[in-house]
Amino acid sequence: MQLPSSLLENAVNEFSKLPGIGKKTALRLVLHLLKQEVGAVEQFGDTIARMRREIQFCQRCFNISDANYCSICANSLRNQRQICVVENIRDVIALETTQQFSGTYHVLGGIISPLDGIGPDQLNIESLIHRVGQEGTEELIFALNPNIQGDTTIYYIQKKIKHLPCKVTTIARGIAFGGELEYADELTLGRSLANRLPVDSYISNR
Ligand SMILES: [Zn+2]
């Protein structure tokens, strides 16, 4: 792509480093910014830089936060004895969007994956085990992706907290709402059958 200005080219290169943004889209965004007032573009740049500089991770659950503790951990209306274990911050946002959960989270920062060289020590697992022991946690809910790495992670953590009086559950895995049985893979269909629900609780949860 031939651009008439190296300043423009530098800006396009920066935007195209973002995930999902190719050179053409980057150029479109840069040209859009070029049409804005200088002050508005400065504010845009400052907001991004300030976000990166000042954002913190909650010392308790590793969620993104503006202070030492995130707004979920600091909220006394939420059930502080219930911990939902997730892989990353995007999962917290997805679960919060459902408005179905009123406990707290623990963000592992990844998942145990020996093939990728990721072991328990690289994740926020020790702090989770410590939390469950210290906080008198009543329920630990695993909301991890349904795959081998997710199952390995659940198995590892569950073994570590087995001696504690904490109920351990996992989110249901099964047929997607609106999906069709004949198109579900064997594993999903098998698990759905094994984890079947009484109709009463199924209907009342809808
Ligand atoms: Zn927190």
Q: How far is the CA of 75 from the centre of ligand 1 (A)?
A: 9
pLDDT, tens only, 135-181: 999 999 999 998 889 999 999 999 999 999 999 999 988 887 787 88
pLDDT of 49 higher than 80: yes
Residue 106 · residue 124 · CB < 8 Å: yes
Look at residue 173 in the predicted model and tell me its pLDDT.
81
**Eight-state DSSP code of residue 147:** S
Domains and CATH numbers, the chain: 6-54 (1.10.8.420), 77-171 (3.40.1360.10)
Indicate the pLDDT class of residue 206, thresholds 50, 70 and 90: low
pLDDT, tens only, 87-145: 999 999 999 999 999 999 999 999 999 999 999 999 999 999 999 999 999 999 999 99
* pLDDT top residue among 20 and 181: 20
pLDDT of 201 higher than 80: no
Q: How far is the CA of 48 from the centre of ligand 1 (A)?
A: 22
Residue 106 · residue 61 · CB < 8 Å: yes
pTM: 0.80
Q: Mean pLDDT for the chain?
A: 92
Decide the pairing of beta strands 103-107 and 79-86: parallel
| Cα-Cα-Cα-Cα dihedral sign, residues 181, 187, 192, 193 | positive
Q: How far is the CA of 165 from the centre of ligand 1 (A)?
A: 22
Q: Which amino acid is at 17?
A: K
Q: How far is the CA of 29 from the centre of ligand 1 (A)?
A: 34
Q: How far is the CA of 68 from the centre of ligand 1 (A)?
A: 8
pLDDT, tens only, 66-83: 999 999 999 999 999 999
Scanning the structure block, which residue is given the tokens 């707290």? 104
pLDDT of 48 higher than 70: yes
| Cα-Cα-Cα-Cα dihedral sign, residues 183, 186, 187, 192 | positive
Alpha carbon distance 135, 195 (integer Å):
30
Q: How far is the CA of 163 from the centre of ligand 1 (A)?
A: 25
Scanning the structure block, which residue is given the tokens 């936060």? 65
Which residues, in sequence order, are CB contacts of 137 under 8 Å at separation 6+? 81, 82, 83, 131, 164, 166
**Eight-state DSSP code of residue 166:** -
Indicate the pLDDT class of residue 2, thresholds 50, 70 and 90: confident
Q: How far is the CA of 57 from the centre of ligand 1 (A)?
A: 8
Look at residue 21 in the predicted model and tell me its pLDDT.
96
For every residue of 17-84, DSSP letters joined together read: TSTT--HHHHHHHHHHHHTS-HHHHHHHHHHHHHHHHH-EE-TTT--EESSSS-TTTT-TTSEEEEEE
pLDDT of 205 higher than 60: no
Q: How far is the CA of 106 from the centre of ligand 1 (A)?
A: 7
Alpha carbon distance 159, 162 (integer Å):
5
